Amino acid sequence: MRYLLGIESSCDDTSIAVVAEDRSILANVVSSQVQEHAPYLGVVPELAGRAHLKNIPAVYRKAMDDAGLSLENMTAIAVTAGPGLAGSLMVGVNFAKGLAMGAGLPLIGVNHIGGHVAALFLEYGEIPLPALALIVSGGHTHLFRVRENRELVLLTKSRDDAAGEAYDKLSKMLGLGFPGGPLIDRLARRGNPKRYAFSKPKFSDGSLDFSFSGMKTAASRHIERDPEAFRDPDGEAVRDLAASFQAAVCRHLLDRVSLGLDQDAAQALLLGGGVACNSHLRTEFEALAQSRGLPAFISSPKLSTDNAAMIAAEGWRLFHLGRRDELDLVTDVSAKPYAAVDLLRKT
């Protein structure tokens, strides 16, 4: 059996994984920096870079221990080269270069968003293609067509905040904590999604980009109108606002997926990225797929949030395509994961 080492350090999780060629995950160690960033209610890039540098050797040793393997057993090393935070990316890429050089192994730079898509193929194996893939995280909100050869075509993306970022900002406004997604998700389950109004994002140029900054502004207006009511973090107003916001975010995401399906036939619907952990989105996504007679593939929570197993999985795909990088591999903070753009049109 051949094994590939995956390294992920693009944002605030330091992760190293070992994934076999048959898709089995031998190790997937994730060291979260939530403790470091929590006091600031958001990721502080400078702190993230330093924490990666400090944590990565121990994460590597634990991954090798969990896998019961050593570097000589690896066939290649895949590392996230972008998009992400500059200082954070550099830690992973330089660590990967050191290992590749020391052991004489091939090095493969991987796109982080492509990794989120690969997580679905890692988990489910065969997925009927072409498919539509919605990747929603703290940094990205993208809708892709996945071609038969697994190339990604961009249909639409966010023109401002990412969906997860909007969750994190609402949580910050309500003084709930970081990361906000899971906190809002939990509160929303006990709230009334019809209490607060959130209008659908609309652009004068007719663009079908995703947009979440308007929802954030609408939420802050609701809070400003009655600040007293929002003091209790478990109060009715907070729960109802969480539920109304969550319903609006999911409605907006699924509206675009529906348009994508109207535009071009797909064989399956894929959902990945950290926000794929959201309970309401998972249920609604399944329901949409069912109403269209399509199978839904949703990554499990462990493979939805940032992890290196997905980077190793994408590394395997590229390895089989013959991709190899040199030791001068550079990081690219705004690397694109798609081969072509075919923007959504109103149908």
Minimum gap (Å) between residue 122 Cβ and ligand KG4 = 15
- In the complex with Zn ion, the residue whose CB is nearer, 140 or 222, is 140
State yes or no: residue 78 binds ligand KG4 (CB under 6 A). no
Task: Write the burial class of residue 160 (CB in 10 Å: 0-12 exposed, 13-18 middle, 19+ buried).
Answer: middle
Q: What's the half-sphere exposure (Cβ side, CA atoms, 13 Å) at 267?
A: 8
Minimum gap (Å) between residue 282 Cβ and ligand KG4 = 9
Minimum gap (Å) between residue 275 Cβ and ligand KG4 = 4
Binder of ligand KG4 out of 82, 87, 109, 180 (CB under 6 A):
180
Whether 30 and 56 have beta carbons less than 8 Å apart is answered as: no
Minimum gap (Å) between residue 19 Cβ and ligand KG4 = 18
Binder of ligand KG4 out of 14, 15, 55, 137 (CB under 6 A):
137
State yes or no: residue 115 binds ligand KG4 (CB under 6 A). no
State yes or no: residue 164 binds ligand KG4 (CB under 6 A). yes
DSSP alpha helices (H): ranges in the chain? 34-37, 45-67, 86-103, 112-124, 163-173, 180-188, 213-225, 236-263, 279-291, 301-304, 308-320
Distances (CA, A) of 88 to 49, 290, 340: 4, 40, 27
State yes or no: residue 167 binds ligand KG4 (CB under 6 A). yes
State yes or no: residue 87 binds ligand KG4 (CB under 6 A). no
Please report where in the chains the tokens 């898709």 appear, as a residue: 23
State yes or no: residue 9 binds ligand KG4 (CB under 6 A). no
State yes or no: residue 179 binds ligand KG4 (CB under 6 A). yes
Binding site for Zn ion (CB under 5 A): 137, 306
Strand order in the sheet with 268-272: 296-298, 268-272, 131-136, 141-146, 152-157, 340-341
Whether 123 and 104 have beta carbons less than 8 Å apart is answered as: no
- In the complex with ligand KG4, the residue whose CB is nearer, 74 or 165, is 165
Minimum gap (Å) between residue 321 Cβ and ligand KG4 = 24
Whether 15 and 28 have beta carbons less than 8 Å apart is answered as: yes
Would you say how long the chain is, in residues?
Answer: 347
Distance between CA atoms of 305 and 72, rounded to whole angstroms? 29
Whether 174 and 221 have beta carbons less than 8 Å apart is answered as: no
Please report where in the chains the tokens 């997925």 appear, as a residue: 127
Show contacts with ligand KG4 in window 181-220 (CB under 6 A).
181-182, 185
Minimum gap (Å) between residue 196 Cβ and Zn ion = 29
State yes or no: residue 11 binds ligand KG4 (CB under 6 A). yes
The entry of Zn ion, ligand KG4, none that residue 168 binds, CB within 5 to 8 Å by partner kind: ligand KG4
Interface ranges with ligand KG4 (CB under 6 A): 11, 137-139, 164-165, 167-168, 179-182, 185, 273-275, 277-278, 305-306
